[in-house]
Amino acid sequence: MDDNIPPRMWKKLILIQGHRRSGSTWLAAVLGEAEEASLIPYEPLWLKHHPDSEIGDRIAQMRRKSGWYIDFNHDNEDNVTFARLIREHLAALVEHYFGGPVGTLLIKEPHPNWMPILKAAFQPDHVLFLDRHPLGILNSYEKSALYEGWETEDEWQKFLIDMQKIAPDRLSDMGRIAHPAKRVVYMAYIGRQLCLEGVKDIPHTVVQYEPLCLDPYNEFAHIFRNLGWHWDETIRARVKPLVDPDGENEPGFVAVHKRSKERAYAWRKEMAPHLVRAITCFLEKIGWEINLPDEVEPLTLAEKLRRIKIYIRRRYYWLRRFGVKAVLRSR
């Protein structure tokens, strides 16, 4: 271990990675029910959800100076300092939430484009990469107005700057991508590739979100056992409120109590048909192969009508919030 990075306050660390809005909060909540795991609430680097500290302030400053891709180089003093601060911050969180060292620490940090610095700081023993259909991610962006809330345009400009070093041969194609949804998809695509390339030398598992939703008990049992954790009827009962809750689904941006089967392909009933077609063609163009399973049923007439109403409501929001130009550009 690098002398500049503090020692571990955990025997084993499992990192959940994936695209933003890929379901990592839900996956972490379910895995957090394991008797073998100690789960840090929220992402460690979602600083506003954790106690204020000087370390947190310094991390925030360094993040603001960072680009879209945060690399790590042992010979780069800023990189080494950043990794050390993240490690110190995580150690402080373990002390705060658990009162001292733990056995298996479970954290989520859904930023695959930060994987090099996270890998250096956390030194994970196992990485779970949650892979979700891009249209599911985009549907969440539309629901929560994240194109504007997460400043997608600024993120895209940082992405283009970093791509000059990472993939200069693709810049001409990237420059022609104007639709904000396509930009989010392309950043997710590149982030996925970079993350999976970065974890090749450590144990990792790619978790497919949709099968997890459609058959949660069997899929989660497999993940538990793959991690060396026990799964029995007691654990099944503990995760039930997270995969098959009684009553209404929990509302909210980080909701974890939702019926799993409704998570898998909700975008089919909510996204505008023209956007689904456009993004599907774009996925084929960039070579991201994702196919719907045969058992997905066609939408009913009522579901198609509801989808149109949702589309109108979402466009009305954009019209009131951003004006006609933004509405036309988001088509």
Instruction: Flag whether 39 is in a domain.
Output: yes
Percent of the chain with pLDDT strictly greater than 70: 95
Q: pLDDT value at position 295?
A: 79
Instruction: Flag whether 214 is in a domain.
Output: yes
Q: pLDDT value at position 296?
A: 86
- Mean pLDDT over each residue of the chain, to the nearest integer: 92
pLDDT in tens, 286-300: 999 998 888 788 999
Q: What is the largest CA-CA distance in the chain?
A: 63
Instruction: Flag whether 307 is in a domain.
Output: no
Instruction: Flag whether 194 is in a domain.
Output: no
Q: pLDDT value at position 1?
A: 44
Burial (CB count <10 Å: 0-12, 13-18, 19+), residue 159? buried
Q: Residue 226: which domain range?
A: 10-132+201-264
Instruction: Flag whether 168 is in a domain.
Output: no
Kindly list the distances between the CA atom of residue 169 and the CA atoms of 5, 28, 177, 191, 321, in Å, as whole numbers in the listed order: 35, 37, 15, 17, 37
Q: pLDDT value at position 91?
A: 96
The amino acid present at 182, given as its one-letter code, is K
Q: pLDDT value at position 233?
A: 97
Instruction: Flag whether 217 is in a domain.
Output: yes
User: Model confidence at 328, in pLDDT bands (50, 70, 90)?
Assistant: low
Q: pLDDT value at position 138?
A: 96
Q: Are 282 and 292 in contact (CB under 8 A)?
A: no
Q: pLDDT value at position 196?
A: 97
Domain CATH number, residue 51: 3.40.50
Instruction: Flag whether 302 is in a domain.
Output: no
pLDDT in tens, 13-42: 999 999 999 999 999 999 999 999 999 999
Average pLDDT over residues 35-51: 96
* 24 contact partners, CB below 8 Å, separation of at least 6: 16, 17, 18, 108, 110, 130
User: Model confidence at 248, in pLDDT bands (50, 70, 90)?
Assistant: confident
Tally the domains of the chain: 1
In this structure, how many other beta carbons lie within 10 angstroms of the beta carbon of residue 72? 18
Instruction: Flag whether 139 is in a domain.
Output: no
